[in-house]
A and B are shown apart, each in its own frame.
Chain A
Amino acid sequence: MMDLLYWFTPWEESVMVVAATGAAALFFSRGCARSKPQLRQKIYFWTGLASIYLVSHTQFDYYSEHQFFIHRLQHLVLHHLGPFLIVLSSPLAVLGAGMPEAGQRVCRFIADWKPVQYLLSVLCNPVAAITLFCGLIGFWLLPSIHFTAMIDWRLYRLMNWSMFINGLFFWGIVLHRGPIFSVSLSPGSRIAMMLAVIPPQIVIGAMIFFASSELYPIYTICGRAIGGLDALADQQIGGIILWIHGAMMSAIGILIVVRGELMRQKH
């Protein structure tokens, strides 16, 4: 039993992760009592939030730091799966209902602030959103950048946070039907955005998979978590995860948007 609990203890404590997931969990459960969301919404939200917490604040994080393919799995959850599920639960209304009055005022104040509105409208631009989504994946996988991010704990956290926040943004724009931050996109453009992020992920994934030399020597230098798996095999599994599973989330997203539109037309 103690052994099992040990796996849930944080590898590296982060106040930010505890505060963010704790606040989200608190507001959502309070909101649930007031606004009665559907069971489906609750399942999506709690699964999404739990998956984010599990990959970033447990012993799993040790393996992400020391094994390339597990690092890719971590980012698959942080950038794709976790934000995807959280967005699917349409949590804004529930979180708002669960937030104390002062918190709601602060959120409204920030949202009404002109520079923030301007920034949000830029970030919600389809081309900017696609570029940022793929650009971030590529940027953190540049060998020299990846090397530094894996030895500097501050950059490592910045990398993980940037992936998560960008994931929330991107999936928020493409999966959300109504206008978001005063930007309204047609179902066609949302599907096109999800299609557009597939090729870059395939290209980056394939480049890593087919590389004949070690692109990320930092894992060999600092030691791999799993013995018996050589550097190239580790790299290839990581490449495959990006290549196939990244694109897979787009396919699921497209099906969800198509289904949503068909249901709407039926009614």
Chain B
Amino acid sequence: MRIFVLSRYMLSLAVAFAISSCVSEKTWHVEEVVGHLPDLDFSLTSDKGHLVTAKTYENYILLLYFGFTNCEAECPVSMARLARVMRLLGDNANRTRILFVTLDPGHDTPPVLRRYVMQFDPEHAVGLTGTTDDIQNLTKRYRAAYRPHSKTGGTSGITHGDAVYIFDSEGQARLLATSADSDEDLAEDIRRLLGATH
């Protein structure tokens, strides 16, 4: 009797596992990180010179990206890509914001950031800067590489990843997109996130 109960329990566990793995595979195109990364929390200066926090962007789907305006490789490519995702979103882009957080606050002042993000998407992209400590707290929170204290000399020493952290309208970390994901997939996932917040 005990063996029967145990085997039935194991069977139901296996079925539940199989179902959950099928469901989770089909839900999102990009990596799902819900529950693993903390909610958005920061206090920085926007490219218009205003002090902004995570609360400022409540009710928006946020695409958070770390970079710097002097970057010649990944940043322009990633920003152009995010701008294209915004075009794919159409009207939905109005409820979405790209947050470009600089890793070079010494050089990237609000006006420099404003000029930079304007080239990609003047309506939906916002450049953010702050003190080195504020920026480091944010990168540390999302496990992004940033090393302001080590002497590497100039911006050529700034190393950074290509992660786009996607937050829902309540500031909860939901997805982690990389350059390996296609723009269409990313747009579709954002649309789904927007749909869920209606």
Chain A interfacial positions (CB closer than 8 Å to B): 6, 11-12, 62, 65-66, 147-148, 150-153, 155, 217, 220-227
Contacts and interface: CB of A to CB of B under 8 A. Distances in A.
Given A151-B33, A221-B176, A226-B159, 10 more contacts: A151-B37, A153-B143, A155-B36, A220-B162, A221-B161, A222-B143, A222-B144, A223-B146, A224-B145, A227-B152
A7 to B, nearest CB: 10
A220 B161 contact: yes
Contacts of A223: 66, 144-146, 159-161, 163
A217 B178 contact: yes
Secondary structure of the B side of the interface?
loop
B143 A150 contact: yes
Given A222-B143, A223-B145, A224-B145, A217 B180 contact: yes
B159 A152 contact: no
B166 to A, nearest CB: 13
A154 B66 CA distance: 23
B12 to A, nearest CB: 24
A151 B91 CA distance: 32
Contacts of B152: 227
Which of A66, A151, A224, A225 is the most central at the interface, judged by chain B CB atoms within 10 Å of its CB? A151
9 contacts: A11-B140, A66-B145, A147-B31, A151-B37, A151-B176, A152-B35, A217-B178, A221-B178, A222-B163
B145 A152 contact: no
Nearest to A227: B159
B111 interface: no
B37 A152 contact: yes
Which of B31, B35, B36, B145 is the most central at the interface, judged by chain A CB atoms within 10 Å of its CB? B145
Contact of A151 (B36, B146, B157, B178): B36
Given A65-B143, A222-B143, A152 B36 contact: yes
A140 to B, nearest CB: 15
Contact of B163 (A6, A12, A221, A225): A221
